[in-house]
Amino acid sequence: MISPLPDLYPASAEIFIVIMACVVLLADLFFGQKNRWLGYFLTLASLAGAFVIQYSIQEAEPSRTFNGMFISDHLAVFLKMAVYVAVAMVVMYSREYLGDKGMDRGEFYLLTLFATLGMQVMISANSFLTVYLGLELLSLSLYAMVALDRDSVRATEAAMKYFVLGALASGLLLYGMSMIYGATGTLDIYGVAVALDGKVDQRLVLQFGLVFLVAGLAFKLGVVPFHMWIPDVYHGAPTAVTLLISTAPKLAAFAMVLRLLVNGLYETWHDWQQMLTVLAVLSIGLGNLVAIAQTNLKRMLAYSAISHMGFMLLGLIAGQPDVNAALSSAGAPDTTIAGAHDALVNSYGAALFYAVTYVLMSLASFGVIVLMSRAGFEAENIDDLKGLNRRSPWFAAVMMMTMFSLAGVPFFVGFFAKFSVLSAVVSAHKVGLAIYVVLMSLIGAFYYLRVVKVIYFDAPAEEAPIRTGGDLRIMLTLNGAAIAGLGLLPQGLIHMCNEAIRQSFWH
């Protein structure tokens, strides 16, 4: 019996990226030696084309294809479009850096497109198989990119650590998926939700599988105690690769957590919420405290990323048992059900808003580091920013806005991201957790403000002005303007995040 062909329309953007990756490969093979700009141009064209395709194929109702393993809904469209923008900014920021370091080769652009494809598959995954396929495609691309500077011992060491720990985490994730499959009898995420809504005999197997699954997800997010790879990889990788690792994959990892835990395993909320609470508390505490002792800027931002991922998990923790009871109780008033819907949407929407804004801030912070780096020099220590205001007032202003935003200073977008998550936590009656998070955030503000102090009040080691291309200055300007502008007018992005959640899970 011949199976019917799947509907390829929902996966049009993924197919386009695959085709363009082949085009980039062939173009670099035949014309890349004499035309180094070709891979850069084709990669940006690929991302722009995927953005347009993604926008044009969005539909009012979610659509599934490939036997239900791939889903296209509002959340997928929103996150994929954010990924295309983030990756395009990474490519633009990195061009001069790659040229100075002798890494402006087709391999970087090809691996970037394959990593983008992996993120696309992760975001639209509706089956454990699709999740794992997208995750491994992304991970293998990043392993290779970390080792792209073949003359750097530090980069090679970081790639080996990333590969070994990544393989271990993938094994944990796969083992957890296999146990959940054994307990529910299905690999389909929606099918798991249906099975859990009924009676599952193998509850112990399910709980063990959930533990392994959360451990694997925690590694991919880089939260404590599965954070060991983050500082070493951020520090050892070429800065352009660190810029990529620290931005767009966070969106794909968030989508993976949301699909698996909220969409598939929500009936076990009591178990995974407790585990996520421990991960968030440890990550916010350790990330902020250890970052204070760092003198290397990339390692400081790595520990900052750990604390921010813990902050993002708070939005998932805020989904409440009483809300779930209100949704499932027979004869509940319409107002109660509507309030329960709004509470869930606000909680998960706050987490999504935090993930998107963190990516925006990370692009600006690492973007400045990339633009300051040049041949034979890596601007990776905090002392390298001394007197930056004298050398480039605009670079200094963008870095200052980014540090203030990461610290949660009003009125930048980071403040509203933290405020929205804390509001959801307080609404969930977790006041003690909110107080702890505020105290840790106050402690964490120290190392962000230290960077601002170095930029504006310390004497520079050299007075030479920093020069870069006009297109990169425009990109940095737009990045800084987005951080400041969304801080003043965050309602539009917050509404988009809430609607993406509402239309995808409780339509």
Residue 199's pLDDT is what? 72
Structure confidence at residue 484 (pLDDT)? 92
User: What pLDDT score does 414 carry?
Assistant: 92
Nearest-angstrom CA–CA distance, 132 and 342: 31
On whether residue 317 sits in a domain, the answer given is yes
Query: According to the model, what pLDDT value does residue 505 have?
Result: 72
Q: What's the pLDDT at 298?
A: 92
435 falls within a domain: yes
The Cα 434–Cα 427 span in angstroms is 10
Residue-level pLDDT, tens digit, the chain, 507 residues: 456 677 888 899 999 999 999 999 998 888 867 777 888 999 999 999 999 999 998 877 888 888 889 999 899 999 999 999 999 999 999 988 888 877 888 889 999 999 999 999 999 999 999 999 999 999 999 999 999 888 888 999 999 999 999 999 999 999 999 999 999 889 999 888 888 877 777 888 889 999 999 999 999 899 988 888 999 999 999 999 999 999 999 999 999 999 999 888 888 888 888 999 999 999 999 999 999 999 999 999 999 999 999 999 998 888 765 544 444 554 555 554 555 667 788 889 999 999 999 999 999 999 888 888 865 677 888 888 888 888 888 889 999 999 999 999 988 999 999 999 999 999 888 889 999 999 999 998 999 999 999 999 988 877 777 777 777 888 888 999 999 999 999 999 999 999 999 887 754
Could you give the 3-state DSSP secondary structure of residue 248?
A: helix
2 in any annotated domain: no
Q: Copy the structure tokens of residue 196.
A: 């859990």
Q: Look at the chain and report how many structural domains it folds into.
A: 1
Which amino acid, one-letter code, is at 150? R
Residue 3 lies in a domain: no
Q: If we measure between CA atoms, which residue out of 51, 49, 112 comes closest to residue 78?
A: 51
For residue 323, report the phi and psi dihedrals to the nearest 5 degrees: -65, -45
Give the C-alpha separation, 92 to 479, whole Å: 12
Name which of 115, 149, 131 is nearest 247 in CA terms: 115
Task: List C-alpha distances in Å: 48 to 42, 84, 102, 303, 310.
Answer: 10, 7, 26, 32, 32
Q: Are 54 and 84 in contact (CB under 8 A)?
A: yes
d(CA 302, CA 390): 27
Q: Which domain holds residue 248?
A: 9-505
Task: Determine, yes or no, domain membership for 16.
Answer: yes
Is 200:183 a contact under the CB 8 Å cutoff? yes
What pLDDT score does 119 carry?
96
